[in-house]
Amino acid sequence: MKLLNLALACSFAAACGGVDDPCPTNDCELKGRTVIKWTFDAYPERGFGMDSCVDFGVWKVAVDVVDANGFATSGRDDCGAAQATFSGLAPGDYDVYVMPLDAAGNPILGFPSVGKVTAGAVSAPTEATVNVPWDAWPGSHTGTFLFRISWGGLSCESVMPEIKNQTVKLTVNDVVQELATDDGQMLNGADKKPCKRLSDNFPQSALNVMFGPATLEIEGYDATDMMRFSKSFDTFVGAGITNPTLTFDVPLM
Q: Domain of 245: which CATH number?
A: 2.60.40
Pairing outcome for strands 113-119 and 165-172? unpaired
Q: Do residue 115 and residue 201 come from a single domain? A: no
pLDDT score recorded for residue 242: 87
Q: Indicate whether 100 and 173 sit together in one domain.
A: no
Concatenated DSSP letters for the chain?
A: -HHHHHHHHHHHHHHTTSTT-S-TTS------EEEEEEEES-BGGGTB--B-HHHHT--EEEEEEE-TTS-EEEEEEEGGG-EEEEESPPSEEEEEEEEEE-TTS-B-SSS-EEEEEEE--TTS-EEEEEEE-GGGS-S--EEEEEEEEEETTB-GGGSSS---EEEEEEEETTEE---B-TTS-BTBS---EEPPPTTSSS-EEEEEEEPEEEEEEEEEE-TTS-EEEEEEEEEEE-SBS--PEEEEEE---
- At which of 136, 171, 203 does a domain end? 136
CATH number for the domain that contains residue 89: 2.60.40.2100
Read off the pLDDT band of 56 (50, 70, 90). Answer: very high
The reply to whether 60 falls in a domain is yes
Whether residues 151 and 129 share a domain: the answer is: no
Instruction: Kindly state whether residue 148 falls inside one of the protein's structural domains.
Output: yes
User: What is the gyration radius of the CA atoms in the chain, in angstroms?
Assistant: 27
Find the domain containing 212 and state its range.
142-250
Which pLDDT tens digit goes with each residue over 86-97?
998 999 999 999
Tens of pLDDT along 104-113? 999 999 999 9
Q: For the whole model, what pTM was predicted? A: 0.83
The last residue of a domain, from among 83, 103, 136: 136
Q: Which residues are within 8 A (CB) of 135 and not within 5 positions of it... i.e. 6 or more apart?
A: 212
Condensed to tens digits (0 to 9), the pLDDT of residues 19-47 reads 444 545 555 566 678 999 999 999 999 99
Shared domain check, 176 and 98: no
Given a cut of 70, is residue 143 above it in pLDDT? yes
The pLDDT assigned to 123 comes to 62
